[in-house]
Structure 1
Amino acid sequence: MARSLTLAAFLALRGSGERTGRGGVDWPNRPAGRVIWFRLQRADRIPAAVALAEAIRADGDPFAFVATLPKGEVIPDDGNPSHILFLEEPAPTPAGVARFIDHWAPDTLVWVGGALEPGLIVETDDRIARRILLDARDQSLGMGIGSWWFSRIAGPVLDRFDHILAVDAETRNRLARLTSDKGDRIEVTGRLDEGAPILSCREDDRTDLAAALGTRPVWVAASATLAEVNQIAAAHRQAARRAHRLMLVFDARHPEEGAEIAERFEAMRFQVVRRSTGADLTEGTQILVADDGPELGLWYRLAPIAYMGNTLVGGGSPDPFAAAALGSATIHGPLTTPHPGRFAQLDAVGATRAIRTAEELGQAVETLLAPDKAALVAHAAWEVISSGAGATNRAARLIASDLPEEAA
C-alpha cells in the first residue's frame, strides 16, 4: 500500500528508521496451525482478548494467539489460557516488525482498541494478509500525536484496516469521514465482551451461611487488607446506625493477616468471628473475618453490597465484574488499578458507587441497604458486562471467516 506524503513525513519525524527491534531472543517456537496476532493497548484489555479468543475457537478450530502489549505494560505470567502467548510488542520499525512476523507468521493482525501506532501499522504492509480494528471509539484513536497530525494521517492509517468495528455511531461516522470507506467496511457493534469471571463456591457452605444469616443485611469488603481496617470499621459503624443487625464480611486478601485483623476490630469493640477457627456466627456477631482462603464467589452470592478492597488505600483492587456477575452492587474508591477500564465502564452508567473517604463509604453502604437501590446498581452492572457478547461474537465470526485454508 502506498504511503501518503504526510504520513511518510510524520513517520520520518517520529524516527521510524531502522533501529534494533525489541524482543525475540527468548520467543518460544511458533505453534502449528493458524496464528492470530492481538495487539492490546493496556493490560486491562487482556480479558477482552481472552473472551474473543474463546469465541473464535468455539467451533473447534485449533487457533493459536499471540497477544502483544506496549513496552512498560505488566504482562501477567499466570492464569492465562495456554493457547494465548503474551509478549512485548515489536518496535514499530522495519527490523522490529520483520523479525516478529518472520517468527510468528500471523494470518491476521487484530488491533484491540486504544490509540493507533502508525509506525507499527505501516510496517505490517504487505506482511500480513488482513488487519482488523476492533473496539474503536472516538476518544481513544488520537495516537497521542495532536489534532493537526491526526487529521492529516488518520485516513491513510485507518485505510490499512480491512474491517473496522466501532463502539458507537458517532465513532463510525467520524471514521467514515476520515477514510476512503464508501461501503460496509466500518460497522457499529458496541463494546467487546470483557469476559466477566464467574467465581465458584461450595453450595453447602452457601446454604449453611445463608441459614445462619437469616434476614440479616450483609455487606462484604472484598480482598481487603490490614491497611484498610480503620476505614472499613468506621464505615461499618456508620452504616450500622441505620441497620443495627448489619454484618460485615471482611474478606482478607492475605489470610495470614486474619488474626491481626480480628484483633484490630476487637480493639474497636466489635464482636468478631474468624472463619478459619470454625466458630459459629451468632446474632451478636458484627464482623466475620473471612481468612480461610479465596471465597469471594461465596461472599458475592451472600452479600448484595460489595466494597472493592484497597481502592481507598491502593495496592490492587479485585475485579468489579466478578462481583457484578454474581449480583453484588459494588462500591469503589479512587485507586482502581489494575481494573481502571472496568470501573470506568461501570461509573459511566451508574452501575457502581464511587467514593473517596471512609465516611462516603459508610454513606454508600447505607444507601444500598435499600433493596431497590442495590438492585438498580446491580442490574445496570449486569447490563454492562453482558452487553459485549454480540460485539465479541461478530468479531469472532469476522476474524475466522476469511482466514486462509492452509496454515502458515
Structure 2
Amino acid sequence: MADLGDALLSTWIVLTRLAGPVGGAIVGVRRRRGKEDPARSAERLGQPSASRPEGPLVWVHAVSVGEAMAAMPVVDRLISDGMSVLVTTVTTTSAALVGHRLKPGLIHQFAPLDLAGPVDRFLAHWRPDLAVFVESEIWPVAIGRLADHGIPLVVANARLSPRSFRGWQRAAPAARAVFRRMSLVLAQTDDDGARFARLGAPEVATFGNIKFDAGLPDVGAAELDALKDGMDGRPMVLAASTHPGEDEVVLTALLKLKESRPEVLLVIVPRHPVRGGDIALLSEAAGLATRRRSTGELPDGATEVYVADTLGELATFFRLADVVLMGGTFIEGIGGHNLIEPARLGAAVVSGPHFSNWLDIYHAFIEAGGLKVVRSPDEIADATLDLIEDRALRARQAAAGERVVAGSAGAVARTIEAIRPLIGRPSGGSPC
C-alpha cells in the first residue's frame, strides 16, 4: 500500500513530467556555460545517439571523473562476462576519459536529466536489465521509474556523507520511498551502510572501496623519457588535481622550498585543464619560469613551474614525482581527492587537512604512515623538503601507502558476484 513517501515521490515525478520545457532550458544554459557537449546535448534530454545492442545490457552511471574511473574495473568484468555496458556520465571531462576507453561492448552516453520525460525516453530506448549507480548518485525520478519498470538498481561503492544523510533525514518520508526502491546497496564502509539502511535501503552490505582494485594505468615510455629529459635529474614535486585557491598555496610553498632547493621543479596538474592559462599567469606573476603542456611545451633546465593542463596524463606525473601534493585538501569545500592511484604508483603523498569526503581512506593512510598532513604553505615546504632530502623516509612512506592499498583490495570481485544474479531479475521496489 502506498504511504505518504510513495505519494510524495509519485507527485514529484508527475510534476517533473509537466515541467518538460524546463529540461531544454537547463541544458541550454549549461551548454552556453561550456558544461555540455553541444554535439551531444540532446542525450541529456534522453534522446539517444546510439543503438541498443542485442542481449543483456547493464546501465552503469558515474557522474564525474573519479566515479567513472572507479567503475571501469567493474565495467571491464561485466564485458568479459558477455554483457554490454552502457556508461553514463554528466561532465564533459568524464565523458572524454570514458571515450578514450571505448571498446566492443562499451557504450557511452550523457546521463538524462532527472526529469520524467528524459528518464522515460532513456529507459524506453535502452531497456537496461540492471542499473548500477556508483557512489552517491541518488536520483529520485530515475530510481522511481526504474522500480516502475521492474529494473533492479544497485548502488555500488556506495557512500553517503553525514551531511547528505542529515539532509535526507529532513525529508524522511520521501527518503524512505526513494531508498527502499534500491535493490542492493554495496557500501564502502560500515558507517556508510548504516546511513543507507537508516534511510530505508532494504539490503545493505559493506564491500569496501572498488578504487583499491583499479588497474595501473598505461604510461607511454616515450612520454616518460621526454619528461625525464626536461627534468634534467632535478627533484620534481607534483601538485595533483588542484582547484582555484590551491595553486596560490603551492606556489607560495614552492618559493619557500626553493630557498633550500632552488633546482626543484613544480608540476601543477589542475583538476580542470581549462584553468591552465590562469595558473600559468599566477606562476609568472610570482616570477617563476613557466611552461604549459597544452601548448606542446616540455620542461627544460630553466623551467621552475610546468603546468600540465591536459587530460588523462596524471598517472605519468605520479610515476615521475618525488613528492605528490594532493589537491582538493588545501582549501575548504572540496573534500579531498583519491589517494589510491598515487599510492599504487609508489608516490610519497602530502595533503592538506580538508579531506571530509575520504575520511576512512585518509585515516587509514595516516595510521599506516603513508600520508603526511600539513596545514600551511610553510608546512608544505618543510614536509616536501624532508621527503626530497631523505630518500629512506620517502621510500618508507610510499611503501606504507602501497601496503594500505594491497590490504584493501578485492571489492571489484565481490561486487561482480553480488550483482550478477540481479541481471534481468525483476525489481522488488514499490511502484509509483
TM-score, normalised with respect to structure 2: 0.65
Say which structure is richer in helix.
2
Distance of 2:66 and 2:208 partners within structure 1: 18
Question: Alignment partner for residue 397 of structure 1, among 396, 417, 426?
Answer: 417
Partner of 2:18: 19
What is the identity, as a one-letter code, of the residue corresponding to 2:346?
G
Structure 2 match to 1:136: 158
Alpha-carbon spacing, 1:298–1:125, altered in 2? closer, same or farther (3 Å): closer
Deviation of 1:398 after TM superposition, in Å, equals: 2.7
2:97 paired residue number = 79
Q: Distance in 2 between matches of 1:47 and 1:168?
A: 20
Residues 1:326 and 2:330 are matched in the alignment: no
Match of 2:265 in 1: 249
Against the structure 1 CA distance between its residues 43 and 238, is the aligned structure 2 distance closer, same or farther, given a 3 Å change threshold? closer
CA separation in 1, counterparts of 2:143 and 2:133? 9
Q: What is the Cα deviation at residue 105 of structure 1? A: 0.5
Quick one: which amino acid aligns to residue 237 of structure 2? W
Aligned: 1:159 with 2:157: no
Q: Which ranges in structure 1 are unaligned for 5 or more consecutive residues?
A: none
1:305 aligns with 2:316: no
2: distance between equivalents of 1:256 and 1:170?
41
- Aligned mates of 1:63, 1:212 — CA distance in 2: 46
Q: Which whole-Å CA distance do the structure 2 matches of 1:342 and 1:24 have between them?
A: 32
Shift of 1:385: 5.0
**Alignment pair present for 1:235 and 2:278:** no
What does residue 64 of structure 1 align with? 85
1:56, CA displacement in angstroms? 1.9
| Paired residues, number | 377
Tell me the equivalent position of 2:50.
Answer: 28
Q: Structure 1 residues 303, 47: closer, same or farther in 2, change over 3 A?
A: closer
The answer (yes or no) to whether the contact 1:306–1:330 under 8 Å persists in 2 is yes
Q: Tell me the amino acid that sits aligned with residue 131 of structure 1.
A: L
Deviation of 1:57 after TM superposition, in Å, equals: 2.1
Question: Structure 1 residues 45 and 235 mapped into 2: Cα distance closer, same or farther (>3 Å)?
Answer: same
1:6 to 4, 7, 17: 4
Instruction: Verify the 8 A CA contact 1:34 1:106 in the aligned structure 2.
Output: yes
CA distance in structure 2 between the partners assigned to 1:202 and 1:111 by the alignment: 35
Q: Deviations over 1:211-231 (max 9, x none)?
A: 974xx7653456899x99986
SS at match of 2:136: coil
Q: CA deviation at 1:393?
A: 1.8
CA distance in structure 2 between the partners assigned to 1:162 and 1:310 by the alignment: 33
Q: Secondary structure at the match of 2:264?
A: strand
User: What SS class does the counterpart of residue 132 from structure 1 fall into?
Assistant: strand
Q: Which amino acid aligns with 1:85?
A: H
Structure 2's unaligned 5+ residue stretches are: 24-44, 426-432
| 2:381 corresponds to | 362
CA 1:34–1:389 in structure 2 vs 1: closer, same or farther (change >3 Å)? farther
**Residues in 2 aligned to 1:329 and 1:62: alpha-carbon distance in whole angstroms:** 39
Q: Of 32, 46, 49, which aligns to 2:68?
A: 46
Q: Equivalents in 2 of 1:402, 1:108: separation in Å?
A: 7
TM-aligned CA distance change 1:149 to 1:30, over 3 Å: same
Relative distance call for 1:39 and 1:68 in structure 2 (3 A) is same
Report the CA distance between 1:47 and its aligned residue.
1.2
Secondary structure of 2:256 counterpart? helix
| Amino acid in structure 2 at the alignment position of 1:121 | I
CA RMSD of aligned residues (A): 5.0
Letter in 1 for 2:132: V
The answer to whether the aligner puts 1:374 opposite 2:394 as a matched pair is yes
C-alpha distance in 2, partners of 1:43/1:7?
33
Amino acid of the structure 1 residue aligned with 2:256: Q
The residue type equivalent to 1:40 in the other structure is: A
Q: Within 2, Cα distance between the matches of 1:46 and 1:341?
A: 17
Identity %: 21
Q: Give the distance between the partners of 1:372 and 1:308, measured in 2 at CA.
A: 21
Question: Aligned residue for 1:89?
Answer: 112
Q: Which of 167, 192, 207 is 1:189 aligned to? A: 207
**Would you say the 8 A contact 1:222–1:308 is kept in 2?**
yes
> Structure 1 residue 99 and structure 2 residue 149: aligned?
no
1:202 aligns with 2:221: yes
Q: Structure 1-normalised TM-score?
A: 0.68
Q: Please report how far the alpha carbon of residue 87 of structure 1 lies from its aligned counterpart in structure 2 after TM superposition.
A: 1.5
